[in-house]
Amino acid sequence: MDLFSLSGKVALVTGGAHSIGFALGVGLAKAGAAVCFNCSNEASRERGMKTYQDAGVEVHGYVADVTDEHAMQQLVATIREEVGVIDILVNNAGIIKRIPMLDMSVEDFTKVVDVDLVAPFICSKAVIPGMLEKGHGKIINVCSMMSELGRETVSAYAAAKGGLKMLTRNICAEFGGANIQCNGIGPGYIATQQTAPLREPQPDGSRHPFDQFIVSKTPAGRWGTTEDLVGPTVFLASDASNFVNGHILYVDGGILAYIGKQP
């Protein structure tokens, strides 16, 4: 099991204070990594620190905007000084705006692309020099089923996550020879605060139509949990995945493999 140990490794999880990022941070820490996370403001950082503390996990929390290249370069330098050179980067920070394309402003579209695609480029660019120096590194991009599929109201998100898939492959192509592995995980529909509106019961007590739709399209017959993403992430962060590169590991309960039942 030493292949899966992250002992002695330093990990940065962007947006790691809550939801998926928090679950991944806890998982990496329990596998032995020294985990760092960032938030966009101090209040979020403090809440995140308490959440980790309540879970019995020691972490290092920072404030830095993932879309600000200078801020992220400074953050990586600070982590290097206070914790160590980053071995593992999880590009988790992301947003979604569910707006029909013809109603979406260019500003909203650009904001989603900046956070979901440009930021992973910025963060990866910041950590790769240290990885080159150490002779190894792991970059894990949190992609999505929308890296493969389209759906109404998520044009910006799908465009960004599709681009993130290709950024993943390009980092692999450019730095694989330097023993840096860049892979992605592609969550299916995960039960989080962000997706809670899609699972709210109807006034008559029945299930939300979208909830019914997703469960019917997922062979596992349920929404995923944040914990479902931990094992795949630890695998991609560990030496067990040293010859896995440029791959998107979809953790979706089988939804991408399933055409659905005949009506």
- Give all strands of the β-sheet with 180-187 in edge-to-edge order: 59-63, 34-39, 10-14, 88-91, 137-142, 180-187, 248-251
CB 223 within 8 A of CB 210: no
CB 6 within 8 A of CB 28: yes
Which residues share a beta bridge with 187? 251
Residue in 52, 157, 189, 250 annotated catalytic = 157
Residue 183 DSSP SS3 = strand
Strand segments (E) across the chain: 10-14, 34-39, 59-63, 88-91, 137-142, 180-187, 248-251
DSSP 78: H
CB 248 within 8 A of CB 167: no
Using alpha carbons, select from 207, 189, 194, 206 the residue that is nearest to residue 251: 189
CB 140 within 8 A of CB 99: no
Told to judge if 157 belongs to the known catalytic residues of this protein, a careful annotator would answer: yes
Name the residues annotated as catalytic.
Answer: 157
